[in-house]
């Protein structure tokens, strides 16, 4: 085999090595998983702006429809929203929580929001400072209406449509 062929084979092999490296990098570029955090569009954009915090309301059956999002209205995460699906939402300081709070007044696993027969319920998981729905302390799983503030430590959450 000629010297030229050997050199071409040698350089071709190095090229093959880099083809693998670059195609792996290409795969990584399109390979995202986990959660994506995007900035909220500027206020005024229809439907996506931050509405003023709704005043606490009692049980208002007319207003009850399926909530779509969970919005943080007070606390260090103010403005953050989470899409609601079928899965339960664990709230607390522990990293495995769905909503991880940086709030010294909340417990590691503070409260849980879960869906039961089409209704979202809030349950306190034995937290130190308690969970409040409106003004009353949550003692047992209680249905949460849209717009009712749920207080966890210094953080206030509410369900939005």
- For another protein, the closer of residues 64 and 93 by Cβ is 93
Please give the full DSSP string across 59-103, using - where no structure is assigned: --GGG-----EEEEEESTTTT-EEE--SS-EEEESSTTSSEE---
Q: At its nearest, how many Å lie between another protein and the CB of residue 45?
A: 12
Show contacts of 83-86: CB within 8 Å, 24+ apart: 84/120, 84/159, 86/115
Q: At its nearest, how many Å lie between another protein and the CB of residue 20?
A: 5
Cβ-Cβ contacts under 8 Å for 59 (sequence gap 6 or more): 145
Q: At its nearest, how many Å lie between another protein and the CB of residue 135?
A: 27
Tell me which residues touch another protein (CB under 8 A): 1, 6-7, 9-11, 13-14, 16-21, 23-25, 27-28, 31-40, 50, 78-83, 85-90, 92, 94-98, 109, 112
- For another protein, the closer of residues 42 and 117 by Cβ is 42
Q: At its nearest, how many Å lie between another protein and the CB of residue 16?
A: 6
Please check whether residue 123 is in contact with residue 115, taking contact to mean a CB–CB distance below 8 angstroms.
Answer: no
- For another protein, the closer of residues 53 and 134 by Cβ is 53
- For another protein, the closer of residues 80 and 142 by Cβ is 80
Q: At its nearest, how many Å lie between another protein and the CB of residue 140?
A: 19
Please check whether residue 158 is in contact with residue 149, taking contact to mean a CB–CB distance below 8 angstroms.
Answer: yes
- For another protein, the closer of residues 57 and 128 by Cβ is 128
Please check whether residue 78 is in contact with residue 68, taking contact to mean a CB–CB distance below 8 angstroms.
Answer: no
């Amino acid at each position: 085999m000629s010297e030229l062929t050997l050199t071409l084979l040698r350089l071709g092999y190095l090229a093959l090595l880099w083809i693998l490296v670059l195609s792996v990098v290409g795969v990584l570029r399109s390979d995202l998983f986990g959660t994506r955090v995007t900035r909220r569009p500027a206020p005024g954009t229809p439907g996506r702006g931050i509405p003023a915090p709704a005043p606490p309301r009692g049980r208002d059956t007319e207003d009850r429809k399926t909530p779509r999002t969970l919005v943080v209205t007070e606390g260090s995460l103010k403005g953050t929203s989470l899409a609601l699906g079928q899965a339960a939402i664990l709230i607390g300081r522990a990293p495995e929580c769905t909503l991880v709070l940086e709030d010294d007044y909340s417990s590691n696993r503070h409260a849980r929001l879960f869906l039961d027969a089409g209704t979202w319920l809030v349950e306190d998981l034995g937290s130190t400072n308690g969970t409040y729905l409106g003004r009353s302390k949550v003692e047992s799983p209680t249905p949460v209406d849209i717009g009712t503030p749920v207080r966890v430590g210094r953080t206030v959450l509410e369900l939005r449509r």
